[in-house]
Amino acid sequence: MNKQELVEAVSKVTGLSKVDVDIAIKATVWNISAALSKGDKVTLVGFGTFERRHRRERIGVNPQKPLERITIPAKNAPAFSAGSELKAAVKSGKVHALSIEPVVKKAAWAGTKSKVKAQVKEKVWAKAKSKVKAKAWVKGKAKVKAKV
C-alpha cells in the first residue's frame, strides 16, 4: 500500500475528503519526524514506538574490495518497535474491529454543568456518526474521533 492508497482507504472509512486525510497524514509524518529529530520518542499505543537510536562507530568491509576494512562513522538512526496489537494482527492475519472514539479534552468540559455537557456530547456523537460509513467488519456501533 502506498501513500495514495492509504489516503483513499482512510477517506472511505472516515468519510473525510481525500484532501483532509492527505493533510492529516502529512502532518502526522511531519510531527513524528520533528519529535525524532529532537530525540523524543513517539508511542502509538498498540501500534508501536518510533525512536532515535545512536549507532556507534564501527569497522566494516568495503564491498568492492573485500580485503579492505573501512570505518563506518557514528550516526543517529530512526527505529521502530512494533506494539502488541500490531504483532498480534501480523501473526494471526486478522485485524481487530475498528473502534474510533471521540477525543475530548477535559478543558472543554471544565466549568460546564452536566446538562450542557450532555448536549455538547450528543452533538459531538451526532457529527461523528454522520461521518462514518459502517462496514461489515466493524462490530457494534461505529465510534468516531471528534474534537470539541
Segment 42-88, tens digit of pLDDT: 999 989 999 999 999 999 999 999 999 999 999 999 999 999 999 99
* Consecutive H or E run containing 111: none
What integer pLDDT is reported at residue 121 of this predicted model?
A: 67
Bridge partners of 82, per DSSP, are 48
What integer pLDDT is reported at residue 117 of this predicted model?
A: 61
Distance of CA 74 to the CA centre of its chain: 29
What residues contact residue 4 under an 8 Å CB cut-off, 6+ apart? none
Considering only residues 126 and 17, tell me which one the structure prediction assigns the higher pLDDT: 17
Task: Work out the pLDDT band at 34, boundaries 50, 70, 90.
Answer: very high
Task: Work out the pLDDT band at 135, boundaries 50, 70, 90.
Answer: very low
φ, ψ at 79 (rounded to 5°): -140, 150
What integer pLDDT is reported at residue 95 of this predicted model?
A: 84
CATH number of 3-95: 4.10.520.10
Q: Are 102 and 125 in contact (CB under 8 A)?
A: yes
* Three cell numbers, residue 58: 564501527
- Percent of the chain whose pLDDT exceeds 90: 55
Which of 12, 24, 14 lies closest to 132 in space, CA to CA?
14
* Domain spans, the chain: 3-95, 97-148
Alpha-carbon gap, residue 82 to 90, rounded angstroms: 10
Considering only residues 110 and 91, tell me which one the structure prediction assigns the higher pLDDT: 91
Q: What is the pTM of this model?
A: 0.61
